[in-house]
């Protein structure tokens, strides 16, 4: 019988988008682009999800270049993978501010083992996107940053959420990272497809780290209070 970990690993390996994208937008699919990432995220999921327990889903926006784009684990950069999860990583260390906040929350909750026993983090769109910025560098691009991109990946997003529910996800409450466009899109999608009974949105970790860092402890408490309702 397959475990939660087995199903997540299979889900990641199956992620593939072949549809047309708006000009200048590139798909970020670490699961297909970097074979070295497979043992990294496989070890993570085998450590924390080697069971068949149901969990509540937390959905971010889409993977970024320095978090899930490097480790294959949403909101877990290479530094947190090594220091907080005690897992091996031999590549270049990357720092992702969202990962810092998420692991502050996880540690306040009781640590990775306690947190991941109850929750599974992924993204509304489990593949990321990049574009070329004004200075010529590659930058992260969100699925909602243009109407054309949102329309292009809409069916892929719906299919991906359905597949995640099959991992063994509790559907009474889904948590959403992002109280702006991510919340709006997910709630509209949920109203149509009835994935979850309720969606609880929380300020995005990146927003907190960039604009509300002095009040970070208050947001950690807000996260913990929200999670408490499903325990």
Tokens of 170: 């509790």
Angle between helix 181-193 and helix 147-165 axes, rounded to 10 deg: 60
- Looking at CATH, the fold of the domain delimited by 4-228 is given as Uracil-DNA Glycosylase, subunit E (3.40.470)
* Partners of 121 in beta bridges: 58
pLDDT digits (tens, 9 = 90+) for 72-125: 999 999 999 999 999 988 877 888 999 999 999 999 999 999 999 999 999 999
* Tokens 């309702």, located at residue: 229
Where do the domains of the chain lie? 4-228
pLDDT at 91: 76
Question: For position 75, what pLDDT does the model report?
Answer: 95
CB 140 within 8 A of CB 65: yes
Element (H or E) spanning 122, and its range? strand 119-123
Mean pLDDT rounded to a whole number for the chain:
94
User: Tokens at residue 200, please?
Assistant: 């609880």
Residue 78 is predicted with a pLDDT of 92
Q: Output the six-digit token pair for 92.
A: 């270049």
- Residue 152 CA to residue 126 CA, distance in Å, equals 14
Structure tokens at 25: 């937008």
pLDDT attached to residue 68: 78
- Measure the CA–CA gap between 166 and 148, rounded to whole angstroms: 29
Q: Please write the tens of the pLDDT for every residue from 43-59.
A: 999 999 999 999 999 99
Residue pointed to by tokens 């899930």: 68
Residue 12: phi and psi, rounded to 5, are -60, -45
Phi, psi of 52 (to 5 degrees): -125, 25
């Amino acid at each position: 019988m397959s475990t939660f970990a087995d199903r997540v690993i299979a889900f990641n390996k199956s992620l593939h988008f072949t549809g047309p994208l708006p000009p200048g937008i590139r798909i970020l699919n670490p699961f297909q682009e970097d074979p070295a990432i497979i043992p990294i995220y496989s070890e993570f999921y085998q450590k924390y999800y080697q069971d068949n327990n149901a969990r509540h889903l937390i959905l971010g926006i889409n993977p970024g270049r320095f978090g899930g784009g490097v480790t294959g684990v949403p909101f877990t950069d290479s530094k947190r993978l090594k220091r907080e999860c005690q897992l091996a990583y031999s590549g270049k260390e990357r720092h992702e501010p969202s990962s810092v906040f998420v692991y502050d929350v996880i540690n306040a909750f009781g640590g990775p083992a306690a947190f991941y026993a109850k929750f599974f983090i992924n993204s509304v769109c489990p593949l990321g996107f990049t574009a070329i910025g004004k200075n010529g560098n590659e930058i992260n691009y969100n699925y909602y940053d243009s109407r054309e991109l949102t329309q292009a990946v809409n069916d892929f997003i719906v299919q991906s959420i359905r597949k995640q529910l099959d991992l063994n996800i509790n559907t009474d409450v889904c948590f959403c990272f992002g109280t702006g466009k991510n919340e709006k899109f997910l709630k509209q999608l949920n109203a149509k497809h009835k994935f979850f009974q309720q969606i609880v949105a929380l300020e995005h970790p990146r927003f907190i780290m960039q604009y509300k860092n002095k009040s970070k402890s208050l947001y950690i408490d807000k996260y913990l209070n929200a999670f408490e309702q499903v325990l």
